C-alpha cells in the first residue's frame, strides 16, 4: 500500500474528504454569519439553531407530509428564512440602536429556546434521514472511493458559496448591501429602503444556514443539538477570516476544514483544538482576521 | 419662476441627542434658484441640510417641498420627493467601484441625466469607472458624489462644501458644473465657505450663527457686505 509521509494514502485522502465536507458546512454557515454581521452588526448566535431548524424542516416535511429531499432543499430554507424575517421584524430590529451585546443575547436566548423545545419534542438522540436515491452509493476514483452524497455536498456548497458571493459582489442588490454595510444612513438617504434590506439580509443568512442543515441531514443525522456542536467552530472560522468578510468566510471555512482533517491524520490528539489554536495565533498577529479590514 | 417657494423651512428646531442645535431656522428656495448658506464652523449649516434630508431625526417645525410635508416621512422616502444629497464627507463607498457608486442611488423621477451625459460631463469618471471608489482623488470623489445624484432625476440638490480641500483648478471645474446645472433649471442649496466660489453661482445668501438664520440678502450684495460678513464669519 502506498504511503505519504508514512501515512497510508487512502487514510490521508479519506481525512481530506472529511475535512472538505466539514469545511463545506463551515463555509456555508460562516458566510451567513458574515453577511448578517456585516450589515446588521448582530452576532447571530441563533445561526446554529437555524441550521438545526433546516435539518428538522427537511425531516418533518418527509415524515409528516411525505415531501422528499429535493423539494426540501428549497422549502426548508424558505420556511426558516420566513421564521427569521418574523424574528427580525418583531424583535431584532428593536435592538439596532443599542449596544451589539443585546443582539447577541437575544439570538443566544432564541437558540436556547429553539434547541430546548426540539429536545423536548424529539429527544436528544439523532433521527436518521436517508440521502435521496439518486445520490446513494460510491464512486471509485481510482485512488479512493467517494460516497456520492458527500461529493454532492462539496459541490453544492461550492455552488451556494459562489452564488452568494456573486449576488453580493455583482448585483445591484449586492451593491446596496455592501454600501449599507459601510454607511447605512447615507444609503437610506438616497432612497433605498434600508430597514427592508436588513430584514431580507437576516432572512437570507438564516436561509443559508437552513440549506446547510438540509445538506447535513443525511450525513450527521437530525438532532436538536447538531447546531450548537458546530456553531462554536463556525464562530472561530469567522474570526479567523475576519468579521464581516464574505470571501474570508468562504476561503477560511474550506481551509480550516481541510486543516482539521489533516490534523486527524498526523496528530489526532490535536484535531479538536487545531482550529482554536489557529484562531488564537491569527488574533495575535492580525486581530482583524486574515481577510478583515483594520478599522 | 413662480413666487411660491419650492422648498420651505419654517421654525425648524433640531437636536443632536440632548443638545439643541437648530433654533427656529427659516429658509425658502424657489424653483431654479441657487441659495448658499454661510456661517462659521458649527453655525448649523450642515445640520440644516441633514435635518432637511431627515438624516437628523429629532426635529420640530415645518419642512415642505412643493407643499408636501417632509417631516413625517421615513428617511428613505425623502429622496423620492426629488431631493439629492451630496454630503460633506462625500460618502463614496470603498467597497463599490466608480460605476457602482454612480449607479447606487435609485432613480426618483424622470429627467435625470443619462450615464452617457454624466460621463461626458465628467470624463475622468469614465476613465476610472472600474476603480475602487475611494481610490479616486479628492476632486474626482467630489465629482462622483455630485454625478451620483444627477442620475436620479432629483430636482433639488443639497450640496455640502463641495470645494473643501480641493485645488483651485478643481474648484473651477466644480463651479462650471454648478453653472451648467443652473442652466438646466436645477435648484441648489449650497453650503460653502469659499465666497468667491459661492458668488459665481449663488442667487441668494443666508447667514447662519449659533443655529439661527441671522440675515439673508441677494447675491449681488455680497461685495457690499464684505465687512459685515467678515465680522460674523471671523475670516
Interface mutation vs chain A, best among B85, B92, B95, most A CBs within 10 Å = B95
3-state secondary structure of B187: strand
A 158-187: CB under 8 A from B? 172, 175-176, 178-179, 181-183, 185-187
* pLDDT tens string A202-252: 999 999 999 999 999 999 889 999 998 899 999 999 999 988 788 889 999
Partner-chain contact A185 B152, CB within 8 Å: no
Q: 3.40.50.300, 3.20.20.60, 3.40.50.720, 1.20.1740.10: which CATH number matches B7-233?
A: 3.40.50.300
B 144-173: CB under 8 A from A? 149, 152
Partner-chain contact B78 A182, CB within 8 Å: no
User: What are the start-end ranges of the E strands in B17-72?
Assistant: 19-29, 34-39, 59-65, 68-69
Look at phi and psi of residue B165 and say left if phi exceeds 0, alpha if psi is from -120 to 50, else beta: left
Nearest to B87 among A186, A188, A195 (CB): A186
What is the ipTM metric for this complex? 0.92
Residue of A nearest to B93 (CA): A179
* Spans of all domains in chain B: 7-233
Strand-strand pairing, B156-160 and B187-191: parallel
What is the model's pTM? 0.89
Secondary structure string (H, E, C) spanning A241-281: HCCCCHHHHHHHHHHHHHHHHHHHHHCHHHCCCHHHHHHHH
* pLDDT tens string A24-38: 999 999 999 999 998
Secondary structure string (H, E, C) spanning B140-162: HHHHHHHHHHHCCCCCEEEEECC
B168 burial type by CB count under 10 A (0-12 exposed, 13-18 middle, 19+ buried): exposed
Partner-chain contact A190 B54, CB within 8 Å: no
Q: How far apart are CA A168 and CA B194, in angstroms?
A: 40
Q: pLDDT tens digits, chain B, 235 residues: what are they?
A: 456 889 999 999 999 988 999 999 999 999 999 999 999 888 999 999 999 999 999 999 999 999 899 999 999 999 999 999 999 999 999 999 999 999 999 999 888 899 999 999 899 999 999 999 999 999 999 999 999 999 999 999 999 999 988 999 999 999 999 999 999 899 999 999 888 888 889 999 999 999 999 989 998 888 888 888 888 777 6
Whether B124 contacts B140, CB under 8 Å:
yes
A189: which chain B residues are within 8 Å (Cβ-Cβ)?
Answer: 53-55, 75-76, 78-79, 85
At residue B204, what are phi and psi to the nearest 5 degrees?
A: -145, 155
> What is the CATH class of A14-285?
mainly alpha
* pLDDT tens string A4-28: 777 777 778 888 888 999 999 999 9
Q: How far apart are CA B175 and CA B180, in angstroms?
A: 9
Residue of A nearest to B95 (CA): A178
Residues paired with A3 in a beta bridge: A8
Amino acid at each position: 500500500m502506498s504511503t505519504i509521509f508514512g501515512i497510508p494514502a487512502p487514510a490521508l485522502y479519506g481525512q481530506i474528504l472529511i475535512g472538505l465536507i466539514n469545511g463545506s458546512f463551515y463555509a456555508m454557515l460562516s458566510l451567513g454569519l458574515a453577511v448578517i454581521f456585516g450589515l446588521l452588526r448582530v452576532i447571530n448566535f441563533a445561526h446554529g439553531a437555524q441550521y438545526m431548524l433546516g435539518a428538522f424542516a427537511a425531516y418533518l416535511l418527509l415524515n409528516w407530509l411525505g415531501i422528499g429531499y429535493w423539494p426540501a432543499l428549497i422549502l426548508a430554507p424558505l420556511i426558516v428564512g420566513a421564521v427569521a424575517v418574523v424574528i427580525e421584524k418583531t424583535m431584532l430590529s428593536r435592538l439596532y440602536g443599542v449596544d451589539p451585546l443585546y443582539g447577541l443575547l437575544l439570538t443566544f436566548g432564541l437558540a436556547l429556546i429553539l434547541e430546548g423545545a426540539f429536545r423536548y419534542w424529539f429527544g436528544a438522540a439523532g433521527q436518521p434521514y436517508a440521502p435521496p436515491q439518486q445520490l446513494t452509493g460510491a464512486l471509485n476514483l481510482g485512488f479512493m472511493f467517494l460516497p456520492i452524497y458527500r461529493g454532492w455536498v462539496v459541490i453544492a456548497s461550492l455552488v451556494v458559496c459562489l452564488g452568494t458571493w456573486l449576488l453580493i459582489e455583482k448585483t445591484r442588490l449586492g451593491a446596496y448591501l455592501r454600501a449599507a454595510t459601510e454607511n447605512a444612513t447615507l444609503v437610506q438617504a438616497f432612497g433605498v429602503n434600508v430597514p427592508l434590506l436588513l430584514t431580507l439580509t437576516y432572512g437570507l443568512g438564516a436561509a443559508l444556514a437552513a440549506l446547510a442543515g438540509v445538506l447535513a441531514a443525511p450525513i450527521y443525522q437530525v438532532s436538536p443539538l447538531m447546531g450548537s456542536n458546530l456553531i462554536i467552530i463556525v464562530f472561530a472560522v469567522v474570526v479567523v477570516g475576519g468579521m464581516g468578510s464574505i470571501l474570508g468566510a468562504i476561503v477560511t471555512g474550506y481551509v480550516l476544514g481541510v486543516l482539521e482533517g489533516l490534523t486527524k491524520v498526523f496528530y489526532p490528539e490535536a484535531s479538536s483544538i487545531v482550529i482554536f489554536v489557529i484562531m488564537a495565533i491569527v488574533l495575535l498577529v492580525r486581530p482583524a482576521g486574515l481577510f478583515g479590514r483594520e478599522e | 419662476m413662480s413666487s411660491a417657494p419650492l422648498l420651505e423651512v419654517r421654525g425648524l428646531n433640531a437636536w443632536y441627542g440632548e443638545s439643541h442645535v437648530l433654533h427656529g431656522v427659516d429658509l425658502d428656495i424657489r424653483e431654479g434658484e441657487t441659495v448658499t448658506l454661510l456661517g462659521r464652523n458649527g453655525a448649523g449649516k450642515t445640520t440644516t441640510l441633514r435635518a432637511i434630508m431627515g438624516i437628523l431625526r429629532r426635529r420640530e417645525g415645518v419642512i415642505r417641498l412643493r407643499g408636501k410635508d417632509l417631516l413625517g416621512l421615513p428617511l428613505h422616502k425623502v429622496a423620492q420627493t426629488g431631493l439629492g444629497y451630496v454630503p460633506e464627507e462625500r460618502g463614496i463607498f470603498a467597497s463599490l467601484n466608480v460605476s457602482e457608486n454612480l449607479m447606487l442611488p435609485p432613480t426618483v423621477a424622470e429627467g435625470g441625466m443619462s450615464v452617457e451625459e454624466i460621463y461626458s460631463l465628467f470624463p475622468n469618471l469614465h476613465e476610472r469607472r472600474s476603480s475602487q471608489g475611494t481610490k479616486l482623488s479628492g476632486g474626482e470623489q467630489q465629482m462622483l458624489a455630485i454625478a451620483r445624484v444627477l442620475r436620479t432625476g432629483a430636482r433639488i440638490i443639497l450640496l455640502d462644501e463641495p470645494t473643501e480641500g480641493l485645488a483651485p483648478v478643481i474648484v473651477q471645474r466644480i463651479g462650471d458644473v454648478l453653472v451648467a446645472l443652473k442652466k438646466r433649471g436645477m435648484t441648489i442649496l449650497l453650503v460653502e465657505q469659499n465666497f468667491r466660489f459661492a458668488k459665481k453661482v449663488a442667487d441668494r445668501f443666508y447667514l447662519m450663527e449659533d443655529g439661527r438664520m441671522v440675515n439673508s440678502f441677494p447675491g449681488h450684495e455680497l461685495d457690499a457686505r464684505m465687512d459685515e460678513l467678515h465680522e460674523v464669519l471671523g475670516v
